[in-house]
Structure 1
Amino acid sequence: MHRKLGPAVVGLGLAALSVLGTGSAWSHGYTDAPISRQKLCANGTVTNCGDIQWEPQSVEGPKGFPTLGPSDGTLCAGGNSRFAQLDNPRGGTGWPTTKVTANQNYSFRWQFTASHATSDFKYYITKQGFDPSRPLTRSVLTLTPFLTVNYNGARPPATVTHQGTMPSRTGKHIILAVWSVADTGNAFYACSDVQF
C-alpha cells in the first residue's frame, strides 16, 4: 500500500535538507579560555541566560567582522536575538572575569561540538577606558585583531588552542573571539570578560 505525502510533510523535509545543506548545522563552538559568557551560562555560573545555557556552541551570525557581521550592541550574541542575554552588560559587573596580565603569553582555547572548514580565528579587545556597563560596540573595540590564526579551509580538532600575547591594558575588558567558517556566510562569536 502506497501513501501520498502531504504538502506539510514534504515542506518539513525540504526545510530539514536546507538546514543540513548549509553545513553550519554541524559546526558549532565556543571559547572556554578565557571563559566565554555562553560557557558561564552553560556551567550555571551565571543564571537567567535563556536558551544559551543549553546551546553555548550556537552563537552564530554573519561573518565579515568588523566591516560586516552583527550590528553594534549585538556582538556577543552574534546578532542572534535568541541569545540577547549575552549582550546584556549586567551593570558592568555581573559577568565573572578571568584574571590576566598585560603582555603575558596566553593559551586561547576553543571547544567544538563539530568541526567545520575554517577561514580563520581573530581576537579583538576593548579600548582602554571603555564603559563595561554598556553593550559592546565597534567604537569601543580595537578593530585590528591582536591575534589572527589563519586556517586556510582546514577543519579544527575538537579542541584547539592558539598561543598569543595579551594586549597591554589595565582594568576590566572584553575579548571578542570570532571563528569564521570558510564555506558558509557565517562566523561564531564569543565574548570573554577579563580583568587585567
Structure 2
Amino acid sequence: MHTQSQPHAQLHARPRARRWAPRLTALLTASAACLATWTGAALAHGSVIDPASRVYGCWQRWGNDFQNPAMAQQDPMCWQAWQAEPNAMWNWNGLYRNGLGGNFQAGIPNGQLCSGGHAESGRYNAMDAVGAWKTTTIRNSFTVKLQDQASHGADYFLVYVTKPGFDPTRQALTWNDLQLLTRTGRYAPSQSYSINASTSGRSGRAVVFTIWQASHMDQAYFICSDVVFS
C-alpha cells in the first residue's frame, strides 16, 4: 500500500508547486524593488521635485505600481522609461555627471540634455525620448524646488526654459533651444532649495531645464521638467 500511495502524493504535489510559482515570482519581484529602493536611498543625491523632473515624476506616479500595464496607455513616456531601465526610476536622484568643470555644452551633446549626456553608462537614456511627457502647470513667474537628500549644497543653479516655438513632443532638446532665466549664487548645504525664475508672455508646453552644480565636489545634475504655462 505504501509503494502505491507515494506516486499518488507526487501527482498532487506538482500542481501545488505550480500554483505557488506566480506567488514566488511576485515575491522575488517585490524584494528586488525594495532592494533597488534601498540602494537608491543609500546613494541619495537629489532632483527637481516641482515642477517634477521626468525621472522623479515617473517614480512618484508609478513607483508603487510600476508593473501596472495601464501605464502604457495612461503615461506612455513613463512606460517606455520603466521598460528601458527600472533602476533609473528607483535612482531618480542620481542623474549627474562628475568632472565637467562647468563646461556643460562640451560634455553634453545635443539631444542628450535630459539624460545628462547618457549619464551613468546610459541608465537615464529614456529621459531623452521625444514625446508627450506628463506636465506640471506653472505661471510665468514660478519657483523651482529641488530636493537634496545628501545636503550637498550648491555652487550655483542655472534655470533655462525652451524658447517659444519649441515642441518637446516632436523635437529632441538642444542647447540652442534654451534661454537662460536665472543663474543663482551659492546655497548652503540643505535638503531643499527654492529658485525663483520668471519669463513673460509664455503659454503652452515647454521644458524647464535645471543645472545644479553641487558644492561637495565637481558634480553637476541635469534635470528636465515638462511644464505648461497657464
TM-score calculated relative to the size of structure 2: 0.64
Q: Structure 1: where are the runs of 5+ without partners?
A: 1-24
1:161 aligns with 2:202: no
Q: Which amino acid is the alignment partner of residue 161 of structure 1?
A: S
Higher share in helix: 2
Residues 152, 190 of structure 2: 8 Å contact kept: no
Moved over 4 A (4+): none
- Picking from 50, 54, 57, the partner of 1:37 is 54
Match of 1:135 in 2: 172
CA displacement 1:123-160 (0-9 Å, x = unmatched): 00111111322221112112xx2022211xx5431111
Match of 1:185 in 2: 218
SS at structure 1 position matched to 2:161: strand
CA displacement 1:51-91 (0-9 Å, x = unmatched): 2210111110245255433111111111112100111022x
Match of 1:21 in 2: none
CA distance in 2, matches of 1:121, 1:158: 15
CA distance in 2, matches of 1:157, 1:179: 13
Q: How many equivalent residue pairs?
A: 163
Q: Which amino acid is the alignment partner of residue 109 of structure 1?
A: K
TM-score calculated relative to the size of structure 1: 0.74
C-alpha RMSD over aligned residues: 2.1
Q: Which structure would you say has the larger Rg? A: 2
CA distance in 1, matches of 2:111, 2:101: 16
- Picking from 123, 126, 149, the partner of 1:82 is 123
Structure with more relative contact order (C-alpha pairs < 8 Å, separation 6 or more) = 1
CA displacement 1:65-121 (0-9 Å, x = unmatched): 55433111111111112100111022xx2x11111223x3x2210011202242101
1:149 aligns with 2:184: yes
The percentage of aligned residue pairs carrying the same residue is 28
- Picking from 44, 48, 55, the partner of 2:80 is 48
Residues 152, 214 of structure 2: 8 Å contact kept: yes
Q: Which amino acid is the alignment partner of residue 69 of structure 1?
A: G
Higher share in strand: 1
